[in-house]
Amino acid sequence: MKLQLVRLLRMIALLLLVLSQAIATAGSSDELPDPDGKPADHGRPIKVFILLGQSNMLGFGRVGPKETKGSLEYMVKEKGKYPHLVDDNGQWTTRQDVRYVHVMDQRGVDYKDMEKFGDVRNEWLTPNKSFGPELGFGHVIGHLHDEPVLLLKACIGNRSLGWDLLPPGSERFEFEGKVYAGYKDVANFWDKGAEPKAVPWYAGRQYDADVAHAKAVLKNLEKYYPGYKGQGYEVAGFVWWQGHKDQSAALAGRYEQNLVRLIKSAPGLQFAEREVRARDGLRQLWSRELRFADR
């Protein structure tokens, strides 16, 4: 158990390092080298990292313009940060060894349909329009691995772990006179003793959809990883960035259990997590999250 905790803390530390490469305002003395522009060794299995969460994982980082303080272009071209992101001609570098794929629910599709989804991104890693943690994470992971790397992001914004992303096996619980949904329940919460009123959704629906979409990508790697030669893949880890939607007292108090169950749904894998603290109201969520590691 202690070994698992050490591995988890290492992955969290790695994620924090990666995020600082992408969004921090302070530079680092240990700069990443410029990518060499060469493809990875396609004779080796693809290292797959699955990125899950809500809005912050989705990514709202602004690439430009450089006149906008805080944009990536401003930080790189005006402040001289993250030199590995630009080449000698001032153009954005591209990692030909790291594929970035983002899949997401399509608008207007029935919530019970897990097969239809949209390809938001399917490209080699480079700054493009908006970005999230995948940009910094991908550069570090690509630098660390000789194998092909696939960053597979399956997420959508405004989703809670305690309802939309509730993992299988989660049970109902009571809080202040209300009953909150367990996995597959068709109401978020209801008064104790009353009948739940069904809505066109269910607890864990987004979990089921995101997992189904990720599996569909992995079954069709010829489409999503150009140059794939049937060499197979290894799901090397999960990255989880979420939390804001669970800041109510009921869901924050349940976050620890839900996060543990989420991690146990992918046994044997490295798992790095990060939540977002925006206000004092999230302190309970933060304390619950810190304790899950010793499970």
Give the CA distances from residue 254 to residues 161, 167, 249, 273, in Å, rounded to whole numbers and listed in that order: 9, 12, 9, 16
Instruction: Provide the residue range defining the domain that includes 84.
Output: 2-24+31-162+205-294
Burial 123-136 (b: 16+ CB within 10 A, else e): ebbbbeeebbbbbb
Report which DSSP code applies to 75. Answer: I
The count of domains in the chain is 2
Confidence check: pLDDT of 76 > 80? yes
Same domain, 184 and 223: no
Same domain, 194 and 209: no
Give the CA distances from residue 70 to residues 79, 128, 266, in Å, rounded to whole numbers and listed in that order: 10, 16, 36
Same domain, 104 and 178: no
Q: What is the CATH number of the domain that holds 290?
A: 3.40.50
Place 27 in a pLDDT band, splitting at 50, 70 and 90: very low
Q: Report the C-alpha dihedral over residues 167, 156, 205, 279, rounded to 10 degrees.
A: 60
Q: 234 has which bridge partners?
A: 47
Least trusted range by pLDDT, from 27-31, 53-57, 144-148: 27-31
Residue 39's CB is within 10 A of a number of other CB atoms, namely 13
Q: 98 has which bridge partners?
A: 149
Q: Residue 149 has which token pair? A: 């790397």
Same domain, 193 and 218: no
Contact between residue 269 and residue 188 where contact means Cβ atoms under 8 Å apart: no
Give me the amino acid identity at 78: E
The pLDDT tens digits for 133-146 are 999 999 999 999 99
Residue 211's CB is within 10 A of a number of other CB atoms, namely 19
* SS3 state of residue 204: coil
Q: 124 has which bridge partners?
A: 99
pLDDT of residue 243: 85
The pLDDT tens digits for 176-220 are 999 999 999 999 999 999 999 999 999 999 999 999 999 999 999
Same domain, 69 and 175: no
- CB-based contacts of 235, cutoff 8 Å, min separation 6: 48, 49, 50, 266, 269
Place 91 in a pLDDT band, splitting at 50, 70 and 90: very high
Chosen domain end from 142, 177, 203: 203
Same domain, 195 and 264: no
Same domain, 175 and 288: no
This prediction's pTM? 0.83
Same domain, 82 and 187: no
Least trusted range by pLDDT, from 13-17, 108-112, 148-152, 244-248: 13-17
Same domain, 89 and 145: yes
Confidence check: pLDDT of 20 > 70? no
